[in-house]
Structure formats: C-alpha cells, structure tokens
C-alpha cells in the first residue's frame, strides 16, 4: 500500500492512503509538491483565475483545468482569454504549457489527478422543488459521479463552487458508493474572489477557508489543501473548520456583503426624499471603526453571479430547516435590491416629464461592476428591460461586454426592436435625451461631457446609477443631473 505520511503542524503524523506526494520535514506540510497533480473541473470566472494563481505560486504542481465547453477551453488556450480580469493574462501566459493546461479531456484530467477542484456553476433552480431559490446541483453531482466512475486512485475532492450546506455529504455519498477500491476525502474550500479584483484577492486573500470532516483522514486532507495555499498565504490567514461551517460561511459572507449594499440603498431612498446625501452618510457611518467603510457605496443595485443566488439559497435552506422567519429576514435583502432598480427607472421617468416613450437613452456600462466582462444578474439588465417596457430606445455602450451578450440578455437582436450597441460612449450619447450610467467604469470620468451635452437633445438628463461623476460640474455644463441618494 502506497502510504503517505503527512507531517502536520501539531507534530503528529497522519496518514492518507496512497496519496503520492513527497514532503519535507518542515513545520508545515510539503516543502515541495513533487509530482502532485491538480485537476479543476470548470474553466469559468472562478476555476480559471484560481488555477492560474495556484500554478504560478506552486511550480511543482501540475494544474489541469478541464471543461465540457470546447469554445471556452479554446479561449483559454488563445491570446484572447474568455475571462477578463486585470493581471490574469500575464499569469496564464507565464504558466500555460509549463504547469498549467486547459483541455476538454475531462476524464483524463480526473484520472491523473491527486486533487480535484469542482468549480462548475450552481445556478438557481428554474423549475421543480425550490424553483427560484434552491441551487441547481446537477453539475456538481455529475462531477461527483464522473470522478467515481473514472477512478484512478485515492483523491481529495474539493468543493470550490458555492453550494448549499451539507452538499459535501451528497458528494461523499456518491464517491463512497463507487466501490472502486479508492478512497475519497471531500473538502470545502469556497472562493472569496470578487470579479475585477480576482487576481489581487487570490494573491493576498483576507482568508482562505478549508473545511473537512473531523477524522484523521479528513484533517490530513485539510492539511494538504491548506499546504498548497500556504505556499503564498500566511498561515494565520488559513482557517480550518468542519465541512458545514465552511459551506455556511461562504453563503453567510455573501449575504452580509449584500445586506450592507441593500441597507445603504434603503437609506438612499430616504436621502432622495429628505435632501441628505447618501455618500456623505456612508462616509460618516463608515468612519465608525465598528462599521467600517467598505461595501457602503450606494448604487443602482448589486449584481454578479453570487449575491442574489447565495441569499436565495440561504433562504431556501432556512425554510427547509423550519426557520421561515429567518428566511423572510434575508429575503428582504434581495427585495430591497429589486426595489432599487425599479426606483432608478421610476425616477428617470418622473424627471423626464413622466414619459420615456420613444426617447433615446444612452446606457453607459452594462457589466455588473467595473473591470469585468460579466453581466450575470447585472442591474443594467433589469433597468434596460424596464426602460424597454416603457418603449424607450436604448443605445448601449460597455467597454468589455460583447454586443451579443447584451442583446441576448435583453432578448433582442441587433437592428431589431429598440436596442442598438454603440462602439463608444460619444456615439451612444449623440442625439439622446438622457444618459444612464449603470457601471462605474473609470473611463466615464474622462469623457468630454461638454461635447456630449452639445450633441444631445435638450434638456439633457444624466442619471448616475453609480455616483461616480461630478454632478456639480455636469450641472454647470447644463445637464439636469440625478445621482443615487441625492435629493
């Protein structure tokens, strides 16, 4: 039997059967990962950047990212990566073909790996029990079944995808029922990277969370995963927990962050009614060290693949475990977000003499935040849909989002209906009645607004859904301006 002896930081020795890592005699696990192979299933916004960082920091580890989607894999093997993240291309180019590989050969990747990260998508269910709330775990389950079928030795299986609490239990059950003679340890290692700053978040994380079963084998597997991150993350930032705490911490972190945004957005409505300025309120309350300044930027609403999905997931769990009041409490965070998007459009309509019908609106920014090409749950989608319902004509510009993505999320085609995609902001604004800034791209601060104003229908309206522009200066040019939470 090929036994691996792991020298854990307590000085005791743990054993993880036939795990082929050689390790040194240092205080904390392997000095080198000679021959260690990682496979990540899912080459998405999470899997791609995370694996690129591991490959860059651990040159002894061979990292293979597999994905069913051949187009996506081709993208990762080209110069035009499918995910835009500042700093990502440099790392991928540095490691690709050396110890970082992207392939559709899923089974080979699984078979050869010692450690498998599952990083596939877990969208909200659209039908059946829990529709609209529960996470659809079909991809996670199919990964587990595939791992069990393929075999290839003992493995550590890491949940990277955000999943409901106790999913690891299901994954473990599927793996254990394989009867292929191999043993598997399931670990929860949720991602905390935010898009647009993913590489920074991966390089200097506030914490890395690794959860495992409370058994000698489980602890040993936790130590193996922790030791990978320990190559560049200080040990005090690596938190080891049991499986369920790790899974629940991920949902809770996102729920708390989203709650802060919804809380300040709720106050923005009161600011607009009273004449207070929400940015001033944020600054004042954020100066209290108990509250802190982050995630207090009022906006047209939060978006992204995680916040809404994870809260809905949390509420579903609460209901499932007989805690309807707790579910209701968290549901309000999502409802507040929906209200914020509706309020933004209502304010536009009110300002523009109670109608936007057949008026041209320049939409600046479509991504859910700056520095990403991701539009999942972007507030821009709902805002644009509401405006289209009011029969407005939209001229959309975003520096990174593909035109086809914008059109498909609005259920339209170029040249059809009332949406056109513009190649620059000036084209979008020319002849428009109003501008709606929906993503905080830095480049919007550098626009020549005097030139834009001169080319717009008068009176020219500007609605800053991100509070990034100097509204006073724009008023002086002649715009009628409206910021979030500015009365």
Q: Which residues are catalytic?
A: 306
Helix and strand numbers (H, E) in the chain are 17, 16
3-class DSSP assignment, residue 154 = coil
**For residue 188, what are the β-bridge partners?**
159, 211
Query: Which residue in the block uniquely carries the two structure tokens 């392939």?
Result: 103
261 binds ligand UDX (CB under 6 A): yes
CA nearest to 394, candidates 404, 385, 382: 385
165 binds ligand UDX (CB under 6 A): no
Residue of the chain from 19, 23, 139, 449 that contacts ligand UDX (CB under 6 A):
139
Give the range of 84-92, 120-128, 172-180, 468-476 binding ligand UDX by CB under 6 A: 120-128
Name which of residues 71 to 110 contact ligand UDX (CB under 6 A): 72
Q: Which is nearer to ligand UDX, 302 or 444 (CB)?
A: 302
Distance CA 324, CA 277 (A): 35
Give the range of 32-40, 113-121, 350-358, 467-475 binding ligand UDX by CB under 6 A: 113-121
Q: Which is nearer to ligand UDX, 302 or 397 (CB)?
A: 302
Q: Which is nearer to ligand UDX, 195 or 430 (CB)?
A: 195
Give the range of 157-165, 211-219, 341-349, 473-481 binding ligand UDX by CB under 6 A: 157-165
For 320, residues 6+ apart whose C-beta sits below 8 A from its C-beta are: none
CB 359, min distance to ligand UDX, A: 26
329 binds ligand UDX (CB under 6 A): no
441 binds ligand UDX (CB under 6 A): no
CB 467, min distance to ligand UDX, A: 10
CB 378, min distance to ligand UDX, A: 7
Distance CA 368, CA 43 (A): 20
Q: Which residue is nearest to ligand UDX (CB)?
A: 44
342 neighbors 409 (Cβ within 8 angstroms):
no
Distance CA 428, CA 420 (A): 9
CA nearest to 190, candidates 106, 122, 265: 122
Name which of residues 175 to 214 contact ligand UDX (CB under 6 A): 191-195
Q: Which is nearer to ligand UDX, 310 or 393 (CB)?
A: 310
Q: At what angle do helices 243-274 and 167-176 cross, to 10 degrees?
A: 150
19 binds ligand UDX (CB under 6 A): no
CA nearest to 395, candidates 455, 450, 318, 337: 455
**For residue 15, what are the β-bridge partners?**
5
366 binds ligand UDX (CB under 6 A): no
CA nearest to 382, candidates 351, 415, 411: 411
Q: At what angle do helices 243-274 and 324-351 cross, to 10 degrees?
A: 40
Residue of the chain from 62, 99, 299, 373 that contacts ligand UDX (CB under 6 A):
299
Residue of the chain from 7, 99, 124, 162 that contacts ligand UDX (CB under 6 A):
162
Name which of residues 268 to 297 contact ligand UDX (CB under 6 A): 295-297
CA nearest to 343, candidates 383, 375, 385: 383
**Helical ranges in 96-189 per DSSP H:** 106-112, 138-150, 167-176
54 binds ligand UDX (CB under 6 A): no
CB 61, min distance to ligand UDX, A: 20
CB 99, min distance to ligand UDX, A: 21
Strand order, beta sheet including 115-118 = 100-103, 62-66, 37-41, 115-118, 155-159, 184-188, 208-212, 238-242
Peptide bond into 459 cis (omega under 30): yes
305 binds ligand UDX (CB under 6 A): yes
CB 272, min distance to ligand UDX, A: 16
List residues binding ligand UDX (CB under 6 A): 41-47, 67-69, 72, 119-122, 139, 142-143, 160-162, 191-195, 254, 257, 261, 295-297, 299, 302-307, 368-369
């Amino acid at each position: 039997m090929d036994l691996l002896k792991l020298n854990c930081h307590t000085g005791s020795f743990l054993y993880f059967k036939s795990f082929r890592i050689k390790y040194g005699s240092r205080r904390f696990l392997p000095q080198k990962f000679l021959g260690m192979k990682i496979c990540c299933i899912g080459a998405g916004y999470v899997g791609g950047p995370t694996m690129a960082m591991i490959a860059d920091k651990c040159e002894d580890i061979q990292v293979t990212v597999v994905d069913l989607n051949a187009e996506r894999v081709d993208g990762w093997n080209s110069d035009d990566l499918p995910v835009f993240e500042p700093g990502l291309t440099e790392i991928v180019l540095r490691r690709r073909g050396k110890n970082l590989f992207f392939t559709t050969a899923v089974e080979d990747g699984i078979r050869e790996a010692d450690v498998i990260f599952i990083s596939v998508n877990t969208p909200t269910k659209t039908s059946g029990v829990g529709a609209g709330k529960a996470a659809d775990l079909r991809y996670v389950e199919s990964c587990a079944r595939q791992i069990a079928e393929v075999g290839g030795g003992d493995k550590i299986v890491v949940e990277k995808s955000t999943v409901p609490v106790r999913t690891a239990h299901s994954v473990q059950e599927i793996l254990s029922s394989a009867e292929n003679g191999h043993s598997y340890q399931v670990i929860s290692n949720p991602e905390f990277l935010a898009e647009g700053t993913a590489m920074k978040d991966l390089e200097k994380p506030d914490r890395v969370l690794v959860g495992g079963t409370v058994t000698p084998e489980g602890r040993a597997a936790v130590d193996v995963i922790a030791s990978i991150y320990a190559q560049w993350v200080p040990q005090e930032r690596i938190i080891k927990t049991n499986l369920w705490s790790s899974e629940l911490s991920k949902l809770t972190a996102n729920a708390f962050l989203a709650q802060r945004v919804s809380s300040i957005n709720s106050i923005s409505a009161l600011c607009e009614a009273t004449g207070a300025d929400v940015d001033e309120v944020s600054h004042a309350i954020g100066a209290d060290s108990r509250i802190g300044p982050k995630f207090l930027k009022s906006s047209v609403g939060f978006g992204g693949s995680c916040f809404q999905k994870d809260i809905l997931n949390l509420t579903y769990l609460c209901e499932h475990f007989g805690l309807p009041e707790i579910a209701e409490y968290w549901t309000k965070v999502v409802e507040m977000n929906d209200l914020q998007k509706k309020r933004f459009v209502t304010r536009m309509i009110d300002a523009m003499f109670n109608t936007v019908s057949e008026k041209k609106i320049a939409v600046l920014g479509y991504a859910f935040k700056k520095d990403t090409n991701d539009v999942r749950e972007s507030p821009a989608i709902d805002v644009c849909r509401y405006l289209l319902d009011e029969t407005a004509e939209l001229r959309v510009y975003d520096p990174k989002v593909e035109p086809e993505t914008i059109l498909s999320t609005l259920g339209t085609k170029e040249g059809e209906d009332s949406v056109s995609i513009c190649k620059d902001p000036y084209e979008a604004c020319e002849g428009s009645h109003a501008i709606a800034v929906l993503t905080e791209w830095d480049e919007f601060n550098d626009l020549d607004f005097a030139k834009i104003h001169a080319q717009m229908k008068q009176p020219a309206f500007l609605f800053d859904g991100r509070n990034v522009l100097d509204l006073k200066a724009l008023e002086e040019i002649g715009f009628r301006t409206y910021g979030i939470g500015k009365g």
